[in-house]
Each structure stands twice: as structure tokens, then as C-alpha cells.
Amino acid sequence: MPTTPATAANSSSNGTAPSIMLELVDENGTTIGTAEKLAAHQAPGQLHRAFSVFLFDEEGRLLLQRRALGKYHSPGVWSNTCCGHPYPGEAPFAAAARRVHEELGVSPSLLAEAGTVRYNHPDPASGLVEQEYNHLFVGMVQAPLRPDPAEVEETAFVTARELTERHAADPFSAWFMTVLDAARPAIKELTGETGGW
């Protein structure tokens, strides 16, 4: 992983796992402080910066991932291509590209900003709360995937119709439909009117 001031501040040189810090924000998305990742997600949750990525293949199919079973938050459920949190001081665009590479082993192409959405989604299974000011990104994936099994249980490319069927049959993350709906205008611009998105 490239070292930047943001990533250097969140790495450990003594072999111990560092605390992952998140950027706390106000309702306008202005940074107001930091908090440890798990603490920020404990009820009632602290509003923090996040990102969600939607990548499509050349056929206009959305890349979904099923989150690894070992993840502490929403394990084993389907969700968008990639989501996560920028380190304090890290640009959301850079964080999105970094995490796509870390989780899926590819670099997105034509990655573009697709707006923001603010939400509050409790996760009944874990008791954790997603209080997020989420930066949305859409783009393409044009290389073979190399998912990290610690992050990703499986992947699937789906059409809009296949997504509707899968969403009715399988568990998805609590935030999935919120971020998908917020990103739809940019998704339609990327995939065209005939894609069904």
C-alpha cells in the first residue's frame, strides 16, 4: 500500500495492530474530530465519514461482494462493490481506490464521484449502528479480480434484474439500498439508459 500522511498515521511499526481511527463529521460533512472505529459504531453511533463504491463491467453488470464471514460488522451479507472509511485526513476518492485494491485486488477505472448520502442504519444482528456521511463513487472494473479472503467471501456480477431477484432472496447489508438509490443518477450516466439501473 502506498504510504501517505494519512496511511502512515494509521500503520504500526511495532508489530501490534493499530487502532483504526475514523473522521467524525457534522451534518454538513465538515470534520469535527476522530474516533476509534468500533467506538464510532456502537449505539447510538457517531456520525463519521465513509464511502461506497459501485463498479461495473463492460456489459453494465454491477460487481457485488459478499462480506467475509469473519468480519465483525455485517458478516456474510451481500453489499456493493466496496465500502469503508477514509483515514483521518485521507481524501474519500483516494480511500475508495485504496480499499478496492486491498479488498478485490484491482484498481478501478473511470472512477467518478457520485454525490453523498447521510444515513442512520442499525444492524440488529450485531447491535452496531451505521451513522454515516457517505461519499459515493461509480466506475468500471476491467481486470481479473483477486479478492482478499479475509475481506470478501465471494463476488458476483449482476444485471439490474438479477440484483432485484438476489435482493429478494439473500441477505444484504442494511445500507445497501440507501447507497444504491443515492448513486443511481451517476450509475445511469455510466451505464446508459438501456442498462436498467
Active site residues: 83, 132
CB atoms within 10 A of CB 114: 23
Counting other chains too, the contacts that 35-38 makes at CB distance below 8 Å and 24 or more residues apart are 37/85, 38/72
Degrees, nearest 5: CA angle 81-86-48: 100
N residues, the chain: 197
Backbone angles phi, psi at 144, to 5 degrees: -60, 140
Q: Which residues pair with 122 in a beta bridge?
A: 129
